[in-house]
Every structure is written in C-alpha cells, then in structure tokens.
C-alpha cells in the first residue's frame, strides 16, 4: 500500500460531488475521489442520478415546455372591427 499523505484529505462536499458529476471538479479535489472509496461511491451514485435526471428532462418535455410554447403563442387581443374604441373617427 502506497499511502502518501495528501494535503487536502477532506471528503468532498455535496457541491464538489455535483461538480465532479458535471466534470468540473478541480484536479486537486479529483485526486481525492481516486484515493477515497467512500467519496468515489457517493460520487458515482451522484453521477448516475445526474444522468438519469438528464434523461428524464429529455423525455419529459412538459417541464417548461408548456411555458415555452405559451410564451410564443400570443392570444389575440379583442381588437377586431367590432371593438373600435373611437367610432366617430
Ligand atoms: Zn472522501
């Protein structure tokens, strides 16, 4: 066993694990995942969840899809010829 004491041996915070799942964790902290089985297990689980979530949002467009469509669809205002505000013009 080659156990070199690392300067940064703190376990990863939930935020750091999220960064790792996104591939944005700084290399210095990434080393810890390689060394720490507990963090690796948590991180792998987080990444799996992250991927499932990404799939879920892809296959469930109703999250915000309706809002996006409604933002584009403008309900016509009642401004037809029957609603002239100035009949004397
Ligand atoms: Zn750890």
* pLDDT, position 8: 59
Span from the CA of 30 to the centroid of ligand 1 (angstroms): 10
Span from the CA of 11 to the centroid of ligand 1 (angstroms): 4
Assigned token pair, 40 = 């690796």
Return the closest-CA partner of residue 19 out of 57, 28, 9.
Answer: 28
pLDDT tens readout for residues 5-27: 545 578 999 999 999 988 999 99
Cα–Cα distance for residue pair 62/52, rounded to 1 Å: 17
Q: Can you say whether residue 2 is alpha, beta or left, with left for phi > 0 and alpha for psi between -120 and 50 degrees?
A: beta
Q: Is the pLDDT of residue 41 over 80?
A: yes
* pLDDT, position 40: 95
pLDDT tens readout for residues 53-74: 888 776 665 667 777 777 887 7
Cα–Cα distance for residue pair 48/42, rounded to 1 Å: 10
Q: Is the pLDDT of residue 3 over 60?
A: no
* pLDDT, position 26: 93
Span from the CA of 21 to the centroid of ligand 1 (angstroms): 15
More confident residue, 37 or 77: 37
């Amino acid at each position: 066993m080659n156990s070199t004491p690392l300067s940064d041996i703190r376990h990863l915070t939930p935020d750091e694990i999220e960064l790792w799942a996104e591939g944005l964790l700084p290399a210095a902290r990434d080393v810890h995942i390689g060394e720490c089985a507990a963090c690796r297990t948590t991180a792998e689980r987080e990444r799996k969840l992250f991927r499932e979530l990404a799939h879920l949002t892809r296959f469930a467009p109703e999250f915000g899809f309706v809002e996006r469509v409604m933002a584009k669809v403008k309900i016509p205002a009642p401004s037809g010829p029957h609603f002239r505000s100035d009949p004397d013009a």
